[in-house]
Amino acid sequence: MKKKVYPLLYAGKKQRFSRSVVAGGFIFLSGSSGRTIETGEVSSNDVAEQTRVALDKIRVGLEEAGSSLEHLVKMTIYLRNMGDYQTMRDAELNYYGKYCPSLVEDPPASTVVQVVSLSKPNMLVEFDAIAVLPDDQS
């Protein structure tokens, strides 16, 4: 099976893991958090803002790999504080409404797990995403 790897850069520096890997008609994205691509730093201490930044990175990563949010099939969400669950879900729903309205009615499969910590102390949420390539590209 062939695979295609897309690198990840934070603040122009190539990371030691890929942004995404395409294999077997699937796109596997590395965890997307509130760290901005431009600086590599966490955008804010607000879970809704971190959710938006993370979903922006997922959207861009999917487009780079030849797909889109419409083809998102599975999300695993790592949340530092389960008290932020509703705020994170509301931010996610608002994002889908703006960038891919079909996901409001037909969202991807999803699991939310509370974690003690993420890779940066001020990270509040991280999304692990799997999507498929459109039929004309798989």
Task: Please give the model's pTM, rounded to 2 decimal places.
Answer: 0.92
Model pLDDT, residue 90: 98
Model pLDDT, residue 136: 64
Reading the block at residue 8, the tokens are 């990840």
CA distances for 43 relative to 13, 52, 115, 123, angstroms: 18, 10, 20, 9
Terminal alpha carbon distance of the chain: 12
Write b or e for each residue in 38-73: b if 16 or more Cβ atoms lie within 10 A of its Cβ, otherwise e: eeeebbeeebbbbbbbbbbbbbebbeebebebebbe
Model pLDDT, residue 135: 83
Mean pLDDT of 68-87: 98
Phi, psi of 137 (to 5 degrees): -120, -10
pLDDT band at residue 134 using 50, 70 and 90 as cut-offs = very high
Q: What percent of the chain has pLDDT over 90?
A: 86
Model pLDDT, residue 15: 87
pLDDT of 98 higher than 90: yes
Note whether 28 and 17 are within 8 A (CB). no
Q: Which amino acid is at 137?
A: Q
- 1-54 confidence digits (pLDDT tens): 789 999 888 888 998 988 999 999 999 999 999 999 899 899 899 999 999 999
DSSP code for 58:
H
Model pLDDT, residue 137: 60
3-132 placed in CATH 3.30.1330.40:
yes
